[in-house]
Amino acid sequence: MALGTDNTTAAVAGNFIPELWSNEVIGAYKSNLVVANLITKINHKGKKGDTIHVPVPSRGTASAKTANTQVTLSAATNSVIDISINKHYEYSKLIEDIAEVQALSSMRKFYTDDAGYALAKQIDTDLVNLAEGFQGGTTTDKTYDVAVIASDGATAFTGTNEADITDAGIRAMILTLDNADVPMSDRVLIIPPVAANDLLGINRFTEQQYIGNGDAIRTGKIGMIYGVDVYISTNAPTVKSGGGSGGTADGTERVGLLAHKDAMCLAEQVGIRSQTQYKQEYLGDLYTSDCIYGVSELRNDAAVAFVMPAA
């Protein structure tokens, strides 16, 4: 008796591959994001267009009410910030049949973890490079025109005067945000790993790092100081050795950031997606993960970039 033609072919089974790979990549992607999880996000998924216009209303003022007179109208002075969705990054592998047959199943897990990490790192890189432009710095990575040095939080970085982060430096940078009327909630301090050792020598940090509100610890969070959550990012930028844009090597200075979540924005038009296609001419599966997004500064006075030694 014939069994018919409804066989489970490779083409039919292949329909299950994209979802499995996508879930694994998304998990790795989320676990490796640091900066992107701490700033404003705009969900533009499924929508058309290459630019998002974000209105920025100015704060109004209160007026004294005089008896028998009409109220004083507060003039509106609104501006707009344009977020260009102009970044499209992908991660691809071609897995030949012989490799698929002979390799351990852990090969796919490595590739999905690697894809998630690579795309997360790229987004975080775009954000931290953008962050170098706050408070009069530059948006060009690996130059020395970042705002201040970490030791006092006020002296401009000139290319050779980097100094370790200190309690006084943190308080000075917090004051900079306070003076700009930046909300005290939703502030974060993002530092490279080398700065964690310095923070452990600051009493205020060791006293407060175990104080929390019961929420689950987010990726990279190592503690709290003066009510500001502290995060480590291995992706913190490195500026050029020996004095900025004229340098030829990296490694003597690292950049950190004190910021409110509204300082920057990440707009996602296409979140992490994974696709596979069998390529007969190569006798293998082509696997690709990609994303489409844009980043933009929202409020220049809501963050401070600072510099410290890389070692």
User: Where are the domains positioned within the chain?
Assistant: 14-56+85-311
Euclidean distance between CA atoms 4 and 138, whole angstroms: 68
Q: What is the rounded CA–CA span in Å between residue 123 and residue 36? A: 7
- Model pLDDT, residue 86: 92
The label of the residue with tokens 């790795």 reads 28
CA angle 229–231–235, rounded 5-degree value: 155
- d(C-alpha 118, C-alpha 29), whole Å: 8
CATH architecture assigned to 14-56+85-311: Alpha-Beta Complex (3.90)
Instruction: Single out the residue of 206, 247, 270 nearest to residue 44, CA to CA.
Output: 270
Q: What is the pLDDT of residue 193?
A: 85
State the DSSP code for 17: H
Q: CA-CA distances (angstroms) from residue 304 to 124, 232, 262?
A: 17, 16, 13
Mention every residue, 6+ apart, whose C-beta is less than 8 A from residue 56: 78, 79, 80, 81, 298
Measure the N-to-C terminal CA separation of the chain; round to a whole number of Å.
Answer: 75
Tokens of 28: 């790795």
Mean pLDDT by 10 residues, the chain (311 residues): 50 49 70 81 84 78 88 80 91 86 75 86 87 69 66 84 88 93 91 82 65 47 85 79 45 84 91 87 89 91 88 76
Pairing of strands 187-191, 79-84: unpaired
pLDDT at position 292 is 94
pLDDT at 206: 63
Q: What pTM does this model have?
A: 0.75
Mapped onto helix, strand or coil, the DSSP state of residue 53 is strand
Give the dihedral sign, CA 123/129/134/140. negative
Q: What sign has the CA pseudo-torsion 294, 300, 301, 304?
A: positive
191: closest CA among 209, 178, 207, 176?
A: 209
User: CA torsion sign, 126 to 128 to 134 to 138?
Assistant: negative
pLDDT at 137: 64
Q: Facing residues of 93 across strands?
A: 287
Q: Confirm if 306 and 49 have CB atoms less than 8 A apart.
A: no
